[in-house]
Amino acid sequence: MFNILTPSKFNFSKIRKHITASIALLAVSLPVFAQFVDEKQWPKITPLTPTDEAHLVNQRDSIDELTSLKLGTPIKGNKSDLETLQRIIDQKLIPSSDRLQLQALGVVLGDQFQREYKLEWRVYEDQLGRSRALCFPQTEHCIFPITMLSRRMEAGLSPNVSDIYAKTAESLKPLTPKLPYSVN
């Protein structure tokens, strides 16, 4: 009645194949399942940490020092800073290998977007990692000015700051909250 398996009748190779197939199926399906679980969690947008804030201050200060020493003009905290950024690029004052300093240019660029469009510096985290971004308050609509110039410059290009600013500003307009009684 009962079939008792003896070691000689027990087929270990079949069991090993089934276990291997099960593990392979599990290994393939877990990342797919995790992707669907993670989609609801991403992106995570949080306030800057004190370390993030200090980093942005240091980057602003480094560009201010550079412009004061090399161009004779400080960063002023207004739209004229875009012209100053262009002068830095045109005069190649920062080597394309200095990623941190190139990204500091993006902080100054971002500050102008912040002033003009009432954006907030935030930490933006997604499946690809963590970045500092400018976001519309209480939304997931963000831009990433820190790398807008640096990535182009690292590739050997001399970006036109005014063009990048204008194109990005144009993309922000539909997201900008309308004032009461505005025409648009």
Collapsed DSSP state (helix, strand, coil) of residue 143:
strand
Alpha-carbon distance 144 to 129, whole Å? 13
In a domain, 123, yes or no: yes
Q: pTM (2 decimals)?
A: 0.76
End-to-end CA distance of the chain: 85
Give the residue numbers spanning the domain of 75.
Answer: 44-173
Among residues 68, 34, 60, 173, the alpha carbon closest in space to that of 116 is found at 173
Is residue 181 domain-resident? no
Is residue 72 assigned to a domain?
yes
Residue 37 lies in a domain: no
pLDDT class for 178, splitting at 50, 70, 90? confident
* pLDDT reading at 26 higher than 60: no
Over the stretch 31-58, which tens digit does the pLDDT of each residue have?
555 555 545 588 999 999 999 999 999 9
Structural domains in the chain (count): 1
Under a CB-based contact definition with an 8 Å cutoff, are residues 63 and 81 in contact? no
pLDDT exceeds cutoff 70 at 24: no
Return the pLDDT at 90. Answer: 98
CATH number at residue 127: 1.20.120.1090
Give the number of other Cβ atoms within 10 Å of residue 87's Cβ: 14
Asked if the structure places residue 147 within a domain, the reply is: yes
Q: Is 57 domain-assigned?
A: yes
How much helix, strand and coil, in percent to the nearest 5, is found in the chain?
A: 55, 10, 35
Establish if 51 belongs to a structural domain: yes
How large is the average pLDDT for residues 126-130?
93
